[in-house]
Structure 1
Amino acid sequence: MPARPVRRAGAGGRVGVRTPRWKSLGGALLRVLAVWTVSSLTLLALTAVLPDFRLQSAGGDSLTRTALAAALGAGAFGLLSALVWPLLVRALLLVPALVLGLLVFFLNGSLLLVALDLVPVGRGYTTPGTAVIVAAVMSAASSATSAFLAVRNDEAYRRRLVRLAGRRGRRAGAAPGPATPGTVFLQLDGVGHDLLRAATRGERPLMETVARWTGGSHRLTPWRTDWSSQTGASQLAILHGSNEDLPAFRWYEKETGQLIVSNRPTGAAELQRRAIERTGDGGLLAYDGASRGNLFSGGADQVALVMSVAARRGRYNRSRAGYFAYFSDPANATRTAVSFAAEVVREIAQSLRSRCRRERPRVGRGGLYPVIRAFATVVERDVVVAAVVGDMLAGRTAVYADLVAFDEVAHHSGPAHRDTHQVLRRLDRCIALIAEAARHAPRRYRIVLLSDHGQSPGATFRERFGLSLGDLVRAGCGLPVPRRAGRTPSGAEAREAARAALGRPEGTDGGHGGSQPVVLASGNLGLVSFPDVPGRITREELDRRYPALLGTLAQHPGIGFLLVRSAEHGAVALGTDGGELHLDTGRVIGSDPLAPFGAGAADAVRRTDRFPHVADLMINSACDPATGEVHAFEEQIGSHGGLGGAQSHPFLLWPVELTPPVPDGAPLVGAEHVHQVLRRWLREADGPQLPLDRAADGLRRDAAPPGDPAGDHTR
């Protein structure tokens, strides 16, 4: 009886016909033979090009014998790559991920040497160094051939994408996927609303795929961040519904004497725990969700490269375990390793070009930064994209992934620099790949692009004024100031992600406590705490202890305003020329110090003032209203973390089939509001999503339905 065709609905409503099993097996055999043939020819070609590589004896062999040796060698190498390589990668998961990347070439070359030794008719010779080159070229050739053949066959292409992401494809005859659509949320870290609009305009836009979507299948909506315009605050609220008591990227907690840093494993885990305790809800992804490359899990059952679980040592929640699915394919490992090395060289060349052209502003880009940049723009990108593709092919209901490449490069090159244009083009290609993979998924997918914040350009505070914020605070307190200003380390997200991938212990920011003020930086937002004063120090007490401090800070040209608590007037924002805004009453004395920061600034500052762990002094740098430039208190010429410029204005790019995020003309304010919008969009799929109720005292989530893994957020 002939095989019965089965019609299957794919992404975008596309319907396909499943190929009979015997045809699938025949097609697979033909593809294997084609890849084997190309690998054999590649091996023969390399013997003619490389002087230290041969497949025949020194005296020469017949062409038939040489060709046979090439075929057997290519076959043995292919079998070893398919059988041994995954076992090696699994064993090396105990080794830091970046070390694994550097071992790729050595391991691949070793497999080739073993393969040549197994050839019974071989009498060739090669050196270990040449073996590495030959193995890399063969992996690239076989991967290219396999990909070329796969795209000509939907099922083959689907299986290859599944394998790239470490997923098992559905067996022939399996039931079709759910009728309800899934949703993929792709976060383009650090890409602001105005920057995205500029990148999608013109005859040759930087982001061609996104440009086609904008105004067509998707609509673009800006939103406004909280005062703390950085990934920790935005993503915690987007994924877990609350960023209450998260005043900055890093802050000091007096009652414990601890420094909390958003992008460190212990800090992210604690912030996630607090958010779940406040909301009583597992998160946006608690129902059949996946979290990829994020700081927080969102309650997802499937996590990879998620910082909040990176410190745990279970089999399924180690951050390095997420690399296995990708690096188990030797072609992937080789391609990513080559791209990693090329990115390191590219960064060194771009840094030298910037120095030769004497570009300003400029920050140091030496040390380990080229490696950290390559990790963010190549390794994390490739692994996260492969994981998202696998999630779609597995038919998951909701996926949230963070692509950090732009944010990392823009911190050191500037958000509008030519260096970041290349990153935007590569991100656009990643989006196109994910959209193409969605066509082969077992269910239709809606792809939502969004960002967690933008970036504001500008010279650093230290470069512009010759001293750090810490030096200025010490001077205002009458304490000795070092003759040479010290550098404030960057808080870029990728640095701690790379440290976690390396298995290194968390970084430290020096000792804290005692009578010395603790001065911390979060982009252009500074925090000052006095550890020897229990609770929050008042303006009146500061004036008694350090009479010159508040005036020194408020009158400095690099500072826009500072927040302090007054025993008499409550929360007060101080600005230049004696301007004051009493936030509790709205009273303005002189000029309003928050007026240059636009609508909503007072509400954002007022909300932060209520946080239990707000610093004694919160200091926001000045902002040029004409250019949007700010002065980061860290070593960043593209920064975010406070108010001023593009950093406070990220975007949502959403499919037109979804309901608008807000009514026309209404502002979308705060990451918690974005969480409600995304939650609503998941409910619109008419699937069994977690209910969302509004209570008088804030947002409350009902208990998860039976069988819902909402409470299991640590896996």
Structure 2
Amino acid sequence: MVRRMGRWRSAGAALLRVSAVWAVATATLVVLSLVLPAFRLQSADGDSLTRVGLTAALCAGFFGLLNALVWPWLVRALLLVPALALGSLVFLLNGALMLLALSAVPGRGQAGAGTAVVVAAATSVASSATGAFLVLRDQGATRRRLRRMAGLRFGRPAPVPARRTAGVVFLQLDGIGYHVLREATAGERPLMPTVAGLLARGHRLAPWRTDWSSQTGASQLGILHGSNADVPAFRWYEKETGEVLVSNRPSSAATLQRRAQLRTGSPGLLAEDGASRGNLFTGGAGQAALVLSVAARRRAGQRSRAGYFAYFSDPAHAARTAGAFVVELVREICQSTRARLAGVRPRVRRAGLYPLIRAFATVVQRDVVTAAVVGDILNGRGAVYADLVAYDEVAHHSGPRGRDTRQVLARLDRCVALILQAVAHAPRPYHLVLLSDHGQSQGPTFAAAFGHSLEELVRIGCGRPVAGVPRREESGAEARGVARAALHRPEEPAEPPERGAEPGGATAPVVLASGNLGVVAFPDIPGRAGREAVERRYPALLRSLAEHPGIGFVLVDDERHGPVVLGAGGAEHHLASGKVLGADPLLPFGPGAADAVRRTAGFANCPDLVVNSACDPESGAVYAFEEQLGCHGGLGGEQSLAFLLAPPALSPPTAEGELVGAEAVHRVLRRWLAESAAADPDPAAHEARGADRL
């Protein structure tokens, strides 16, 4: 009897919600008909308010019915359309459905094509917001709302696992350093209250030190696939193939993933019932969406853009995201203009495509990846790894602690809150692990501080002309590669080495930047060019680099001593023996610098020269070789200190000492997955935790 009464109450609540949403949609249409000149809900000779309201109610009802029955099939028919183009088509198709709904009321509803798009978007958003508000205290309705957000509207509920072992969600907050997270969760009114709440409930926050190449390509490859050997930078030149590999280029990401899998003999961290969302690599997951390394694949479950289609299966999502996208565009224009007028220094150029890339990273990618993770949780998937790139993209141009980046941190905290809400409605318990792949270091760009780029400095050291050489504005931000994949755009071709510019038709050195890390390759010198070979061909180059005030040290291979680090004043650090001549060039970069550089020096594809910018040991300021105010990629400052935040139910990351390297993080995450699979949590405790999180 009690169960029957409960079903009647649920049905009654559902009927009330439908009625309320219908009423709001009707009111929205009436208001729009009064505001928009090209939109009418009455006949030419005028109708009473009652007739107008009846017309609006009929249009709203028919429009809602079309959205429920027709819309998912329209989206499915557009699977070959580029993902972000689908976001635009959503408005046109929704407008077409509105025109169809208006035509169902003969002789009354009238609107032009453009007006119908506006009316449809406004009605969808109003209806969705009303529905979300009404389900706040209804657990069943909240679960259905989360499923709709994840594109699971017509899917069956996920089966409850026979053993209620916990799944694990690894959420990567790209580029947020350990110290930045601590500051954002401190105080009475923390910037990230949800994450601060996790810490208050006993979650452990631990730092981990990145490899020398402190960037997403190296870190995420090591975390997801257990090996990032032979990844010396974000971009580098390989002599064997004559190609430039760039971590955020789909073909390069696929190559790096394949190499890591061959080296480890394992498909990756997520091979067992896993999902990869918004990453550079799959981690061996059977379900991958918005992942660059599979951007060109068409296998079931392996379409990189599949998450966009699930998200846009609800037209209200498209309207809300488009509105937020425009707001973010305006926000960036206002913030960059204010910084320019105030004479803020240091500052980098924020024009061109950057406002669009920022809006994509902080709105579209964030919303779609979060929705995909919610869907994985509600489907009971065993392991999920997702990357939110918003902070990293904004920090590159506004600095790690700028006002702009603080706003992004607050919005990322709301994503964490939404994921925790989904955990409370999941068919199994979940552990949520937050982590980052690196931090960010701030400082003026190398070109702004010294009037020339690293490439120009190398040319000067080689005795080559600098005049007339265009200055590149490379960016190591992952969001650009993700945006190109979402648009289904072909990847940017790598620039071939400049041939025939030297006497005898020799090939010019290849100079590439990765944050404050630079690599130099000499294509005409077979194998790895040693110190003696470089000095014979370019006698002034090594000293020009090592003595420059913006250069911290230069790594080169010495025929007698092995890998050697060169510094100013003739200083040298012989990595093989540990012998130091003069002042140690690695001393300003911390006690782990020698080990990190020695590891990279042992890579089979280590570039001929690897250059790290100087670092102020007190402020941590570095000089980016790219156009970035906040940068990462080398040593110096906070870029090398990332974080791990895990629940107390999982073992501590290390028994003692410091966690060093992405491969070590991979081993920790594997251990946590094994612990979660072995444990059999109490279902009642899971329900209690879910209620607490809400």
1:629 partnered with 2:621: yes
Measured in 1, the distance between the counterparts of 2:173 and 2:410 equals 12
Measured in 2, the distance between the counterparts of 1:522 and 1:173 equals 43
1:140 partnered with 2:125: yes
Measured in 1, the distance between the counterparts of 2:150 and 2:566 equals 53
SS in 2 for 1:480: coil
- TM-score under structure 2 length normalisation: 0.94
Measured in 2, the distance between the counterparts of 1:346 and 1:123 equals 40
Tell me the CA shift for residue 573 of structure 1: 0.1
**Counterpart of 1:352?**
337
Counterpart among 401, 420, 424 of residue 405 in structure 2 = 420
* Amino acid across the alignment from 2:660: V
Deviations 1:569-601 (A, max 9, x none): 111000011110000000000010001000110
Measured in 1, the distance between the counterparts of 2:258 and 2:68 equals 41
1:217 partnered with 2:202: yes
Q: 1:316 to 1:685 in 2, by over 3 A?
A: closer
Measured in 1, the distance between the counterparts of 2:189 and 2:83 equals 37
**Counterpart of 1:233?**
218
* Amino acid across the alignment from 2:350: R
Tell me the CA shift for residue 688 of structure 1: 9.9
* Amino acid across the alignment from 1:95: V
**Counterpart of 1:74?**
60
Measured in 2, the distance between the counterparts of 1:527 and 1:312 equals 31
Counterpart among 60, 85, 93 of residue 71 in structure 2 = 85
Measured in 2, the distance between the counterparts of 1:170 and 1:442 equals 14
1:544 partnered with 2:529: no
Structure 1 unaligned blocks of 5 or more: 6-18, 690-715
Deviations 1:644-701 (A, max 9, x none): 000000001111121110124x110001000111111111114499xxxxxxxxxxxx
SS in 1 for 2:659: coil
Deviations 1:483-536 (A, max 9, x none): 676133212110111111111111134222642100011110000000011100
Alignment of 1:177-216 (within 5 A): 178-216=163-201
Counterpart among 337, 351, 363 of residue 378 in structure 1 = 363
Do the aligned partners of 1:241 and 1:672 also contact (CA within 8 Å) in 2? yes
Do the aligned partners of 1:466 and 1:485 also contact (CA within 8 Å) in 2? no
**Counterpart of 1:667?**
658
Do the aligned partners of 1:169 and 1:394 also contact (CA within 8 Å) in 2? no
Measured in 1, the distance between the counterparts of 2:31 and 2:474 equals 50
* Amino acid across the alignment from 2:369: V
Measured in 1, the distance between the counterparts of 2:475 and 2:243 equals 19
**Counterpart of 1:507?**
492
SS in 2 for 1:242: coil
1:581 partnered with 2:566: no
Tell me the CA shift for residue 184 of structure 1: 0.7
SS in 2 for 1:185: strand
Do the aligned partners of 2:243 and 2:496 also contact (CA within 8 Å) in 1? no
Counterpart among 225, 244, 247 of residue 229 in structure 2 = 244
Counterpart among 38, 46, 58 of residue 44 in structure 2 = 58
Measured in 1, the distance between the counterparts of 2:529 and 2:91 equals 57
Do the aligned partners of 1:449 and 1:654 also contact (CA within 8 Å) in 2? yes
SS in 2 for 1:402: strand
Tell me the CA shift for residue 332 of structure 1: 0.8
Alignment of 1:258-657 (within 5 A): 258-482=243-467, 486-512=471-497, 514=499, 515-657=507-649
Do the aligned partners of 2:564 and 2:575 also contact (CA within 8 Å) in 1? yes
SS in 2 for 1:642: coil
Deviations 1:104-125 (A, max 9, x none): 33332222122101114x5233
Deviations 1:4-36 (A, max 9, x none): 69xxxxxxxxxxxxx966655554344323211
Counterpart among 650, 662, 671 of residue 680 in structure 1 = 671
Do the aligned partners of 2:121 and 2:315 also contact (CA within 8 Å) in 1? no
* Identity of matched residues, %: 66
* Amino acid across the alignment from 1:135: A
SS in 2 for 1:612: coil
- TM-score under structure 1 length normalisation: 0.91
* Amino acid across the alignment from 1:543: E
* Amino acid across the alignment from 1:683: A
Do the aligned partners of 1:53 and 1:125 also contact (CA within 8 Å) in 2? yes
Tell me the CA shift for residue 472 of structure 1: 0.5
Measured in 2, the distance between the counterparts of 1:91 and 1:635 equals 41
Deviations 1:215-246 (A, max 9, x none): 43311100100000000100001011110111
Structure 2 unaligned blocks of 5 or more: 500-506, 681-694
**Counterpart of 1:12?**
none
Do the aligned partners of 2:158 and 2:427 also contact (CA within 8 Å) in 1? no
Deviations 1:454-475 (A, max 9, x none): 0000111111111111110011
Q: 1:570 to 1:145 in 2, by over 3 A?
A: same
Do the aligned partners of 1:177 and 1:395 also contact (CA within 8 Å) in 2? no
- Aligned CA-pair RMSD: 2.0
SS in 2 for 1:92: coil
